[in-house]
Structure 1
Amino acid sequence: MFFFILLTLRFTLSSTVSHILHENSLLQVADLREFEEFADYFPDLEQFPLYQTALRHLENGGIPCRTLRTELVKCGSDGEYLGKLHCLRLAFQNILRDRTNYIWFADAGRQILADLLLYADRDPKDFLIGYEEMLKYIQEGNNWREVEEELSMKGVKALTFYDVVMDYILMDAFEDLDSPPSSVTAVVQNRWLSNGFKETALTTAVWSVLKAKRRMLKFPTGFMAHFYTISEQLSPLLAWGFLGPDELLRDTCVYFKDQVMGFLVDIFNFQKCRYTNVEELAEDVIQNLKIRIENISQRLSAQS
């Protein structure tokens, strides 16, 4: 639209002055409409001093990250992603300093994952034991140096809820499920095998991979060991849910994924979160998370 008007003006320079003025007035109106259309994409950054500070930090010293998720969370550039990532790290740290919030996070995670197992007719007992052991482990301050070393070996750049849970655990898991090994898809898609056999074979394959990873751990009782214990219960379920023939389970797993990804898009959105200061951003992040948790809970409750 904008370039079309410029081209029109170029070919009307020889016309009368009044006609030129008329064209210029149209151009001004069109310009205003162009800016209104894209206002959401180019917000007034003076409204977001926390984000501005993050951009200066990015320019002066850089902001480390394990993987750029720019397109995934619908940021306009890598710089925008990194600036918002820095802000969100501060927000999550602020949230989890409050013991009440920490307990809510732990309870919500336990409830959602246990309900997902129950929905799929799995006994959540072993998961719940592993989950509690993980919570005990990470609450012990003496373990944090070990945790930091383990996760740094995985490329995790900061020990925040976003970096560890959202980025490293959940988003990587979803990516793996989007591109499963050919050996897995060959079993699941074999129409000559019964569903029971397929599910057993898939579970055995997942456990074999996790067992092999355990043997390579530097800290046999560290963070990753606890994580693999939980994964032994959840990974086969998610793999069967996304790849298996049960349409209701697949729809529920996809809904779970969509809610997680929707939450990530929301917290990277200027319209959904206030990048004004750490406290206000933290409030908006936890509010968006509570909405998504409630959505998942209602879905599992309605279908159980």
Structure 2
Amino acid sequence: MAEFLSLAEAVRRTLRDGDTVAFEGFTHLIPHAAAHETIRQGIKDLALIRMTPDIIYDQMIGMGLARKVVFSYAGNPGVGLLRRMRDAIENAYPRAIDTVEHSHSAMAQAYEAGAAGLPLAVFRGYKGADLPKVNPDIRFVTCPFTGEQLAAVPAHRPDVTVIHAQKASRKGDVLIEGIIGVQKEAALAAKRVLVTVEEVVPDFRGLHPNLCILPHWTIDAIAVVPGGAHPSYTHGYYARDNKAYLEWDGISADREAFAAWMRDNVLTVGPEIFAERVKGL
């Protein structure tokens, strides 16, 4: 059942060393504030799952908190490489990481299978592709009804899923608007769920019934963090900070510049900085 906590307490209660964690969000609602609090608390040896790892995973990898990344695309969106992730893969700096690469479809199917309590996802895909040559988790099975060969991948069952959303009701239900991505499936697939939100409202009366709502009994902790998705955007609240993404390319290219940025912008500041950064965007 959802419990309203400070961000620091929500992370402390929800995440543990060695967990498999999905920090999900697709183009917007990316839970930067929660990831930064995870870095501040030094929660380590994490297996990170995400359809589109971007700069929050670059930061967590660069701080040495990740042991593995399961993903379908990795990059600084609209800019280029994840340079801290590349340094870890190519040079084992600050530590080596394992990588498991999938297609977007496989990742979404794996989350959906996890949400349904299934051990695997079965779908059409990967025929003629090279990923099965380098990813032993991709298998092929024969349909017992049609004889068709289908791809199979393990279901995603994270220990923890972390997402950002627009609103929570006082009861603890959570409302997601705009591009949904796989936040709902990732939350339902996880053992524990942490949600950061822009605000708390009395209830969701008068809203369209087809909006994505996670009921309070699917969530463990909610933290109110205005601006908690910055520099990504939150539909209806603030825009994407394109300048921050462009600047990250240069910051992350140099180990010392990266360490200085993390010290000045993450390690020594609290979540209140996010509210300040989004003002005027």
TM-score w.r.t. structure 1 length? Answer: 0.25
Q: Higher strand fraction: Structure 1 or Structure 2?
A: 2
Rg bigger for which structure?
1
Structure having the higher helix fraction is: 1
